[in-house]
Structure 1
């Protein structure tokens, strides 16, 4: 019953925010980074955030979520608030970085840090190294999820996929809360999008993925690679694009439209077609995790598949 309530809450909150944003002219204007062609309301991620925090708080109230995981996830309130202010007022990069540093440190504190880092034949248990890695992973996941929120349904469908995959692999009612919180928004964000989630939603989702990764890695160190494979479509695109732009001598802080999904839309693919393609790739990645017993073999195969996907996209629209 709670999940039905949460899905309707997300749905109607998104509807209210959409109408309010239109009334107050809170719209995402078309710029150099945009993949949309008309100004569209943003801030729909508020509905995701409100529904998410209410949902996991209910789980905490009925003792259906680990307390360390709950408090680590609740730290996401900070990044949501700061990101919403950034949506409205375009905060400086320094302010955003301070907020991201704070939530990364607090998240690691509540999780007790990252215990170990498995590398196949051996594992690294030096707490200084593992926690530095975890710290930068959280910040990178926050930012890359924001980078890849650019077309109808893309960021939302990724979150739903990760929620479903997480539930099937690990169980946990928090994954069901994530699914319904995003689905209610996704109804309004599907092609053609009537509202975007904005930074308030995308940064929160990126933070959540990082927290899930660390939390489950602490239960079983190989689980870190499970999440890296599941999240491969996003981190591979974001990381490779960053490296390619660096190699081209570009100013990395400059807005661009060179991510794989953006180049697919530029090649003539409609937003819904790109999103459906991403879902199919994600299903393949889930299959690797589910059916391949050795997670490191699955990881290697995932890299090969993702590289093939990128090369396919390069044939549609070259990286320039």
Structure 2
């Protein structure tokens, strides 16, 4: 009984601290995406090259992010590290952006807005939009992540058409029968982007802030894990009220667009690149220009 009272007092003290004006926390997240298996043929692509490409893609989809947050806002950024061979230059940055990375992802849960800066084909974009509100269903399951007691929540989320982590291989029954023609290396014909996906999240009321990684928010506690069936984001470290404070502010650089505008630009440019190469995807040394 005495232990229960002490635990309650400790939690109450943390809750009061969380509501303090200068409250701030930091969470480290490990993100891992299961890449679909690409099978490319032609143009001298050997099984060894295919394996190397698959391994490089796997490595590119393993990332570490740091989120700094207070009671109303957060910034979520990929941890800076030396570029791996083959990931340097505009091409590597473009692929990284399409696979979920960006500059700074800022969320303001008080104003219900977000801003994220992205680089695509050498042009800087600043996406400013309203925070997507998910209809979370609070489940009864519980588990521990590190030292924190967590509760399960699920939701159905519309898919961003510019986030290529969501590509799924088509089922055989979904593939359209087409007249026989000369075979190309356009492996993307075997893939599709779903319209919506089911999200499973684990949050902890022990940290009573409605924050989480990427665009996730809206639960009665910090989200420590998110799983959308292909990408898993897990919190590996939490630091509360560190001595050194981080300025939590929205990014400012880039052409301002809404999320749908940015999605449309990405889809359009990818289609243009595909057509310019006879259905084979981007070629080397090609430059794309954007309208104003």
Q: Same fold (TM over 0.5)?
A: no
The structure with more helix, counted as a fraction of residues: 1
Q: Please give the TM-score of this superposition, normalised by the length of structure 2.
A: 0.32
The structure with more strand, counted as a fraction of residues: 2
